[in-house]
Structure 1
Amino acid sequence: MSLKKYEAFVRTVELGSLTRAAEAMGSTQSRISHVLSTLEEEYGFVLLRRNRSGIRLTEAGAMVLPKMQEILQKDRELTELIGDIRSADAGTVRLGAFTSVAVHWLPGMIRTFQSAHPKAELKMFNGDYHDMEQWLREGEVDLGFVTLPAPEGMRTIPLTQDPLVAIMPKNHRLAQLEEIPIQELGEDPFISLLQSSAHDIHRALDNAGVRPNIKFTTKDDYAILAMVEQGLGISIVPQLLIQGRTQNLAVRPLKPRASRTIALAIPEGKPLPVVEAFAQTAVAWVKEQSGK
């Protein structure tokens, strides 16, 4: 299939003469005439009748004309799309995020990103740390929010340090303290995320030699907040998680301090420009928020 041949035929019909078609294509009348003759030989039927008064479509020519016009239009659209993808103006970003980031960061990041890249599409996958590592390794997502250290084979972009804090009912005995020695968290009923969802928290407890009295385990971050509010136990959570949810909770920093490093992870290789563009937006957005 030769798009140039199609263009020669369509231009000749639309402009009404070989001469004008040649001028529009930067060619010569004889060259356009030769191209049309070659096309007719390939098809085995006549497309145009040529005489002194001009050109006239044959019945067969009238039948193929709209199809050729459609093909040329699709080619123009494809060329435009390729240019958009190369310039990060289009394409799909498959993004993995855990709950606290999905709730408190992504809406703002996505709004900022889409204002600059309105043709881009985002698909969000919400899961825990284990899900994120698996999706990144298997290519299910183009980039994902993780906590360091990240799985091997990933390029990581650190974003922020998110403190871990103790949460408890407001009438809890420990709520009187300005900071909570982590060793004090070993006796009370403890509400825990699954190990795969909270390795930063379990690492902080292990480093302090604390074995919490785990009474409830859940995969849902916000279920922990609700259970603590109801007096069912205490917990350790990332500070980002409780943003806007402290009305019915006592929140205290840990002693010694502990935190998680939130980062973006991108599989090694050459991602689409639109993926890199989202990563740059995320970095700039977090930096702007931390400066407020």
Structure 2
Amino acid sequence: MAVTIAQLRALVTTVDSGSFTAAARDLGVGQSAVSHAVAGLERELGGPVVVRGAVAAATPLGERLLGHARSALASVDALEAVVRPGTARGTVRLAAVPTVCQGLLPRLRELWAVVLPDVDVQVYEGDDDEMPEWLEAGTVDAAVLVDPSVVPDGGVVVAKDEMAAVVRRDHPLADAAALTLDDLHEDGLVAGGGGCEYQIERMHELAGQPFRYAHRVREMSTMFGMIQRGEGVSIVPSLGRVMLPDDLVMVPTTPRLERTLVLSGPSSRPWHPLAKALVDAV
């Protein structure tokens, strides 16, 4: 089998960008070159790897190949960075949870724009448990991990924040020094928004209480809307303060719980050189 790096790069870029046209633009080549590379890969493998359509997507065979292709490309990029050192340039995919995307990444991206001006940081937003999955599967090159049990080799702590209650500005306890879980349960706890359910569960453990909630949602916008309508209150990381509507406020909680945020590349495959560049720059 004579699979080439160019073919693997064409496959990954086409799937990531969603079309042969966009892949050609990202790779700086003609569309026909991308099409020929993917077609050559399909001949070598004996089956289609990309579904041609309005949006190019991986076939089941392509999906099985993607993880290996990303690992191979990361190794090649790392090798080239060693043998041809120079100004970092290119695109790096970075995953983070919503509160980090809103409350931390703007500051980090301002820093990277200055020290890594030729690096394009593409942001992928997901939940806490998706960060390590995407990182190890090769969906992204770097991620801000939330409370990892161990800081991965090469990773760096980029921030810490605390969990805080979110209530309406006209709530009777909006000016309290701190709110307990019992205070919050009286109004009905809205859990899960923005992927913070693990931290809310942990707070119940620290308080010696069973984890319970009145509502369980996925999106923070849904959670904020319910609080605005008086349908409950919630707990979110303090980095999410920038996301609050004007009629909602944050109040400290007891027990206190801190999150640790770690910027890292994968632990099971070579790092993309630009992932290392991001970490080295903070």
TM-score with structure 2 length normalisation? 0.62
Larger radius of gyration: 1
Q: How many correspondences in the alignment?
A: 202
Does structure 2 retain, via aligned residues, the 8 Å contact 1:93–1:123?
yes
193-202 or 176-185: which moved more?
A: 193-202
In structure 2, the partner of 1:236 is: 235
Displacement of 1:252: 1.3
Report which stretch shifted further, 186-195 or 233-242. 186-195
Deviation at residue 158 of structure 1 after TM alignment = 1.6
Amino acid paired to 1:120 = V
1:178-237 deviation per Cα after TM superposition (whole angstroms, max 9, x unaligned): 211233333321111169642122211222133465232221123322321221101111
1:32-43 correspondence to structure 2 within 5 Å? none
- Mapped partners of 2:194, 2:165: distance in 1: 17
Cα distance in 2 for partners of 1:212, 1:176 equals 25
Counterpart amino acid of residue 260 in structure 2: T
Is the contact between residue 192 and residue 235 of structure 1 (CA under 8 Å) also seen in structure 2? yes
> Match for residue 17 of structure 1?
none
TM-score, normalising length: structure 1: 0.60
* Structure 1 residue 263 displacement after superposition: 1.4
Could you say if the C-alpha distance between residues 189 and 273 of structure 1 is closer, same or farther in structure 2, counting changes exceeding 3 Å?
A: same
For structure 1, the residue ranges without an aligned partner over 5 or more in a row are: 1-80, 284-292
Q: CA deviation at 1:278?
A: 1.1
Which residue of 1 is the match for residue 187 of structure 2?
Answer: 188
Do 2:104 and 2:239's aligned partners in 1 also have CA atoms closer than 8 Å?
no
Q: Secondary structure at the match of 2:277?
A: helix
Taking the aligned partners of 2:179 and 2:84, their CA distance within structure 1 comes to 51
Deviation at 1:165, TM superposition (A): 0.6
Amino acid at match of 1:203: R
Question: Shift in Å at residue 255 of structure 1?
Answer: 1.7
Higher relative strand content: 1
Alignment of 1:8-47 (within 5 A): none
Distance 1:243 1:214 in 2: 24
Q: What's the secondary structure of 1:175's corresponding residue?
A: coil
Q: C-alpha separation between the residues in 1 aligned to 2:83 and 2:232?
A: 53
The answer to whether 1:121 aligns with 2:135 is no
* Change in 2 beyond 3 A, CA 1:160/1:152: closer
1:237-268 CA deviation, whole Å, 9 max, x = no partner? Answer: 11111226363123211122212111113223
For the 8 Å contact 2:174–2:249, the answer to whether it is kept is: yes
Percent of pairs identical after alignment?
25
**Aligned-residue CA RMSD (Å):** 2.9
Q: Could you tell me how far apart the structure 2 residues matched to 1:253 and 1:153 are?
A: 30
Equivalent residue for 1:112? 111
Pairing 1:150-189 to 2, within 5 Å after superposition: 150=149, 155-189=154-188
Q: 1:177 to 1:109 in 2, by over 3 A?
A: closer
1:189·1:213 contact (CA, 8 Å) conserved in 2? Answer: no
Quote the Cα distance in structure 1 between the aligned partners of 2:135 and 2:232.
34
Is the 8 Å Cα contact of residues 94 and 124 (structure 1) preserved in structure 2? yes
